[in-house]
Chains A and B, each alone.
Chain A
Amino acid sequence: MTAAGRRRLRLAFRDGAALAAFASVAISGEISGWAIAAFAVGGALALFDVRMLARVPLASGIAVTGAGALLSAKVALGGMDLVVAACTFAAAITLHRVLSSPNARVDHQVLLTSLLMISGGAALSGELLFAVMVALFATFACVTLALGVVEGALPAGADFPSAPLLRRAGVCVLIALGGGAALFVVLPRLSWNVGWHRLSRGLGGISGLAEGVHLGVGSGSIKTNPRVVARVQIAPDPRQPVLHAYWIARTYGTWTGREWSEERPAQPPSERVEIRPGSPHLVHQRVELLPAYGSRTAVALVDPVAFGNAIGFRDGLRVPRLRFSHLPGGEVRLVEVADGYAYHVYSADPALDRAPVGPSDLSDADRARYVALPPVDSRVGQLAADVLQGETDPLRAAQRLQTFLGARYRYTLELPDSPEDPLADFLFERKEGHCEYFATALAVMLRTQGFAARVATGFFGGERIGDAYVLRAGDAHAWTQIWVPGRGFVNVDATPEAGRASQASPFAAWLVRQYERVDGWWRSTVLEYSLGD
């Protein structure tokens, strides 16, 4: 390999190491957007060997110093976390060095400041991607250093066979990574707990649990998102690879003609919420809502009986003893704001619990609310009456309409622009839609015939990965609940079966499943590792 080629290779590895180190911090979600953008642009320029700061070393040095002063001031004023500021400053120095004239000394500076970023990433992030970035950094840094050491021993301009060197550097990487894992296991754990950071906000929330269900707004693209938003451990363990279960989050009783909503007056918060009296056959769930969930509404298998023992993770810190607020309509919401939550919940076992679970009938006010309708297209009531043929039993009526809708209407996520009356458009024009259309159509048709019904949202499914079931963003679902005297609200789902679970592409779902497996291993083996394990 020629001297020029060797130099390019070394710098590419060096800059790759810097980018990996920065990514290890950036995935924590704590670094500001401008810093990410600046590093991305600078890193790309460096990979193309554009060292734009080589001509203005003094001015750029002053600029970096100024950035350091600004960050210090921000920390002093309480506007920024010290670790985040330190990582940002390390990133600024790294970028400055990367875009400067390269030599052996600059290489060392880049790698050392990158190492500082890695350390910051360890303090700020708990993502599995952090491990990937650290492994990449270790690989690139080892190769860079090995190339630099040999290059320093070569006469200027001399050629050199790089293959043996790269092989030996590869061995170095393997020893470093393997040894790192071994040392990680055996290093004694002592904790002085002067201060710590852990668990990041990650890449933000996406689950799409909104305050209401809006027909004609959005295309339902959330159904194609395979990202995991919750993990649930269930006891007794169902031992099934896939749970075709309903996980309830919210219910909506008010239909305005375009959207479902629920008035939710504040309730006194408490650490434990009991929805209804206990039952001998309960299913225990430990639910972990990941930062990607993006909401404070607790989810549980239908029918939830009691929630409690909630903790949260906020700014990397564990927040114990969180409180719940029980809202009308059955929603249970966590009061304190956090990035992620974990709590315990008991639900009635649908297979064993046949006992009456609700009052014999609704109060007049509730009944009036669950049958109330705004002016709707007269064809809706007519269609419902035609299908029901005078059926008076609420559950059988609901099942008839469910069968009708499931058979005559098609599931799709490809929806045109919002029509004037989305429900009438769905029922009489387009005859295809996603779960919110099916749930709304069923609830409104039931109400037109005097049955009390409402729409529930949450998730449908549950895929077993490791010892837990995961819920994906694409498992978000809406269905109908019909009031059955003596049994309470019973789930009726008019959405065709194929459209209920996640609509993510099989490959994307497979990828996420593999990632989730490794991530589960990462959390149990690395993040929560102790010598006692």
Chain B
Amino acid sequence: MRPAIGLDASSGARWRRLRALLRPPRTLRITAAGRTYLVLTLGIGIAAVNTGNNLLYLVLGLMLSAIVASGLLSERCLREVRVRRIGSEAAFAGEPFAFRWAVINPRVAGFALTFSEVNPHLEGEGVLAYLPAGVETIVRGDLLSKRRGPHHLAGVRITTQFPLGLFAKSRFFPCEGTLLVFPRRVPGRPAAEGARDARDGTASSPDRAGGTGDVVSLVPLREDEDARRIHWLKSASLGQLVRLEREREERHTYVLRADAAAPAEVLDRQCEALAASAHALLAAGHEVGLDAGEVRLRPAAGPAQERRLLAALARVGYDG
């Protein structure tokens, strides 16, 4: 599912706002132990009503009030909590990545808190056993996204089973954001020859004589060589035309192309392949750019370019 594609931006925002309005302030999930407990409570309730035995009413009252106590204390853990998203350094589809939140409960301590992001494509959570009162604490969780793309993060969900483990109470903290998940990392593949930029010229042509690296020597200028390489000072002193011989470079310029109109699955595979190629090319020192319809990136080299390429590939098919 690709939420942004084909969906009108304004109607999507309205839908999100509506969902936020309809979302209950707390959600409650019954744990396995809680289910057994509820069944037992029901049984004791029936026994109490059947017999009129006050001691059974006493036990029933105790069991019901334990549920109330559980609700009150779990609410106390969640009520005043403030959380902000720190995020992740880099997230690749299909592999766990570290994700961080900063959390503080100003007045009371919290126990057994579980943090997760509200997004259908994200799995995993961060767990904090003890949150001291008034101390901001960083929580790390290992998340996993099966798909690349800019994932919309509606907010953070904090859940606790404290104190009795019978119910898992969750509170949703609205906190809009986007998590850019890079394409899945697959084994590197050689770039297609067609991806080499035709505008390279002799400066970056593999057929050129010499390169643009450090000076190696001075050699006589041959007839068919570029006159711009002539070292005029040495030529004048030697009485013949000589040129600078520099270290030969193997830097090429590639522009990778993706078909943004392809079906989602096909496009995902394409982006993964391109990311692998880009990684291999950049590692070899080449310059790599991207042309994917709306998403374009000028060729460049280096780790920063790889990050820009991965981000661009993550967005291909989602933007516009």
Q: Do A and B bind each other?
A: yes
Q: With contacts A126-B55, A138-B62, A152-B112 known, is A195 near B50, CB below 8 A?
A: yes
Q: CA of A126 to CA of B112 in the docked complex: distance in angstroms?
A: 39
B112 touches A153 (CB 8 A): yes
B44 touches A119 (CB 8 A): yes
A192 touches B65 (CB 8 A): no
Residues from chain B with Cβ under 8 Å of A126 in the complex? 55
Q: CA of A384 to CA of B33 in the docked complex: distance in angstroms?
A: 79
Residues from chain A with Cβ under 8 Å of B112 in the complex? 149-150, 152-153
- B interface majority secondary structure: helix
A122 touches B64 (CB 8 A): no
Residues from chain A with Cβ under 8 Å of B36 in the complex? 108, 112
Q: With contacts A149-B163, A152-B112, A168-B111 known, is A193 near B51, CB below 8 A?
A: yes
Q: Is B264 an interface residue (CB 8 A)?
A: no
Q: Which segment, of B4-12, B127-135, B270-278, faces chain A?
A: B127-135
Q: CA of A143 to CA of B178 in the docked complex: distance in angstroms?
A: 41
Contact of A119 among B47, B54, B69, B128 (CB under 8 A): B47
Q: Is A273 an interface residue (CB 8 A)?
A: no
Q: Is B72 an interface residue (CB 8 A)?
A: yes
Q: With contacts A134-B62, A180-B65 known, is A191 near B51, CB below 8 A?
A: yes
Q: How far is the CB of A26 from chain B (nearest CB, A)?
A: 15
Q: How far is the CB of A218 from chain B (nearest CB, A)?
A: 37
Q: Which segment, of A37-45, A72-80, A157-165, A303-311, faces chain B?
A: A157-165
Using a Cβ–Cβ cut-off of 8 Å, how many residues does chain B contribute to the interface with A? 47
Q: How far is the CB of A97 from chain B (nearest CB, A)?
A: 14
A145 touches B130 (CB 8 A): no
Residues from chain B with Cβ under 8 Å of A526 in the complex? 54-55, 58
B56 touches A119 (CB 8 A): yes
B109 touches A138 (CB 8 A): no
Q: Is B37 an interface residue (CB 8 A)?
A: yes
Bitwise, B46-83 to A at CB < 8 A (1) or not (0) is: 01111111111111111111101110110000000000
A149 touches B164 (CB 8 A): yes
Chain A residues 135-157 with CB under 8 Å of chain B are 138, 142, 145-146, 148-154
Q: How far is the CB of A144 from chain B (nearest CB, A)?
A: 10
B50 touches A196 (CB 8 A): yes
Q: Is A204 an interface residue (CB 8 A)?
A: no
Q: How far is the CB of A106 from chain B (nearest CB, A)?
A: 12
Q: Which segment, of A182-190, A238-246, A395-403, A417-425, faces chain B?
A: A182-190
Q: CA of A169 to CA of B69 in the docked complex: distance in angstroms?
A: 10
Q: CA of A161 to CA of B128 in the docked complex: distance in angstroms?
A: 13
Give B34's nearest chain A residue, CB to CB. Answer: A108
Q: How far is the CB of B49 from chain A (nearest CB, A)?
A: 5
Residues from chain B with Cβ under 8 Å of A152 in the complex? 112, 161, 165
Q: Is A197 an interface residue (CB 8 A)?
A: yes
Give B132's nearest chain A residue, CB to CB. Answer: A164
Q: How far is the CB of B101 from chain A (nearest CB, A)?
A: 15
Bitwise, A95-130 to B at CB < 8 A (1) or not (0) is: 000000000000010001001101101110110001
Q: How far is the CB of B32 from chain A (nearest CB, A)?
A: 8
A189 touches B57 (CB 8 A): yes
Q: Is A175 an interface residue (CB 8 A)?
A: yes
Contact of A175 among B40, B52, B69, B128 (CB under 8 A): B69
Q: CA of A178 to CA of B40 in the docked complex: distance in angstroms?
A: 21
Q: Is A385 an interface residue (CB 8 A)?
A: no
A122 touches B72 (CB 8 A): no
A112 touches B58 (CB 8 A): no
Residues from chain B with Cβ under 8 Å of A182 in the complex? 61, 65
Residues from chain A with Cβ under 8 Å of B56 in the complex? 119, 122-123
Q: Which of A175, A190, A527 has the most CB of B within 10 A?
A: A175
Q: Is B97 an interface residue (CB 8 A)?
A: no
Residues from chain A with Cβ under 8 Å of B129 in the complex? 150-151, 153-154, 158, 160
Q: With contacts A112-B36, A182-B65, A183-B65 known, is A123 near B55, CB below 8 A?
A: yes
Contact of B54 among A116, A118, A161, A527 (CB under 8 A): A527
Q: CA of A9 to CA of B135 in the docked complex: distance in angstroms?
A: 27
Contact of A179 among B40, B65, B114, B163 (CB under 8 A): B65
Q: CA of A528 to CA of B52 in the docked complex: distance in angstroms?
A: 10
Q: Is A131 an interface residue (CB 8 A)?
A: yes
Give A189's nearest chain B residue, CB to CB. Answer: B52
Q: Is A510 an interface residue (CB 8 A)?
A: no
Contact of B130 among A134, A142, A160 (CB under 8 A): A160
Residues from chain B with Cβ under 8 Å of A178 in the complex? 65
Q: CA of A169 to CA of B132 in the docked complex: distance in angstroms?
A: 16
Contact of A172 among B44, B52, B163 (CB under 8 A): B163
Residues from chain B with Cβ under 8 Å of A164 in the complex? 109, 130, 132
Q: How far is the CB of B169 from chain A (nearest CB, A)?
A: 12
B51 touches A179 (CB 8 A): no
Q: Is B172 an interface residue (CB 8 A)?
A: no
Bitwise, A214-233 to B at CB < 8 A (1) or not (0) is: 00000000000000000000
Q: How far is the CB of A349 from chain B (nearest CB, A)?
A: 37
Q: CA of A125 to CA of B56 in the docked complex: distance in angstroms?
A: 10
Q: How far is the CB of A394 from chain B (nearest CB, A)?
A: 54
Q: CA of A181 to CA of B57 in the docked complex: distance in angstroms?
A: 10
A168 touches B52 (CB 8 A): no
Contact of A122 among B40, B58, B114 (CB under 8 A): B58
B61 touches A179 (CB 8 A): yes
Residues from chain A with Cβ under 8 Å of B92 in the complex? none
Residues from chain A with Cβ under 8 Å of B49 in the complex? 190-192
A138 touches B61 (CB 8 A): no
Residues from chain A with Cβ under 8 Å of B37 in the complex? 112, 115
B163 touches A145 (CB 8 A): yes
Q: Is B162 an interface residue (CB 8 A)?
A: yes
Q: CA of A134 to CA of B37 in the docked complex: distance in angstroms?
A: 16
Give B130's nearest chain A residue, CB to CB. Answer: A160
Q: How far is the CB of A17 from chain B (nearest CB, A)?
A: 13
Bitwise, A298-329 to B at CB < 8 A (1) or not (0) is: 00000000000000000000000000000000
Residues from chain B with Cβ under 8 Å of A176 in the complex? 62, 65-66, 68-69
Q: Is A415 an interface residue (CB 8 A)?
A: no
Contact of B163 among A108, A169, A183, A529 (CB under 8 A): A169
A197 touches B53 (CB 8 A): yes
Q: Is A194 an interface residue (CB 8 A)?
A: yes
Give B49's nearest chain A residue, CB to CB. Answer: A190
Write 5 A-B pairs (CB below 8 A) sorted by A numbering. A119-B40, A122-B56, A181-B61, A184-B54, A191-B51
Q: A168-B109, A176-B69, A187-B61 are in contact. List 5 more A-B contacts (CB 8 A).
A: A119-B56, A153-B113, A154-B129, A169-B163, A526-B54
Q: A-B pairs with the 5 shortest C-beta distances? A: A179-B65, A191-B52, A183-B61, A180-B62, A196-B51
